[in-house]
Amino acid sequence: MSKANLLDRRAVVAELLRDRKGAFAVGGLGASTYDIAAAGDHDRNFYLWGGMGGAVMIGLGLALAQPTLPVVVITGDGEMLMGMGSLATVALQQPKNLSIIVLDNEAYGETGGQSSHTGGTADLVGVARACGIGDSRSISTMAEVEAFASSLQDVTAGPRFASAKIDGANLERVLSSRDGTYIVNRIRGSIGHTPI
């Protein structure tokens, strides 16, 4: 089912996180969480196994709380469509350290590959730009992924949004921890907060 010239999702996420330094990475429900896990477990990985539509808002809360550290939300088209209003909320806040990238396979891969709106008429880059995220772009090459990966380290020029069209192949799941308190307390510990 793979089309020519589409990016490999695991390669995209590996590149985004290759030289992440202190960045937090939030993964949306579904394959993007597996992609982040596949790139290597990290105490600042915020894996989501539910709360569909909430990834960008989790990223915003984190970005506002830690304005000197980069936050990157890596999610899928279905998850982004469910939380589309959060792009308007992000634009209003203008968090300089927040980057959002959608891995767009134009389908709901976790549930059998049903078509999503982005394979039809919806343009998420246009939505993000129209909401007020000025730096909104489509990505179709690994060179553009590399450029996005280095730009997300700049915590003075966000928010930024990108959508990368990726190959729709279902890859082997790489399972992260799914214990929410472990995931959150590990992130909190990484910035010096002890448990209550």
Partner 1 sequence: MHARADTAASWPEEIFSILQRFEVRQVPYVPDAGHSELIERVLGSSSMRGIALTTEEEGVALLAGAWAGGQRGVLLMQSSGVGNCINMLSLVQIFRLPFLTLVTMRGEWGEFNPWQVPMGSNTQGILELSGIKVLRASHPNEVREVVEAGAAQAYNACTPTAVLLSQRLIGAKVFTK
Kindly identify the residues of this chain, within the stretch 143-162, that bind partner 1 according to CB under 8 A: none
Window of 30-38, 56-64, 147-155, 169-177 that interacts with partner 1 by CB under 8 A: 56-64
How many Å apart are CA 160 and CA 136, to the nearest integer? 6
Does position 139 bind partner 1 by CB under 8 A?
A: no
How many Å apart are CA 101 and CA 16, to the nearest integer? 10
- Nearest Cα neighbor of 83 from 58, 64, 107 is 58
Does position 65 bind partner 1 by CB under 8 A?
A: yes
Window of 87-95, 106-114, 119-127, 145-153 that interacts with partner 1 by CB under 8 A: 87-95
CB of 4 to partner 1, least distance (A): 36
CB of 170 to partner 1, least distance (A): 25
Does position 6 bind partner 1 by CB under 8 A?
A: no
What residue ranges bind partner 1 (CB under 8 A)? Answer: 24, 26, 46, 50-55, 57-66, 83, 85-86, 88-89, 92-93, 180-181, 183-184, 187-188, 191-193, 196
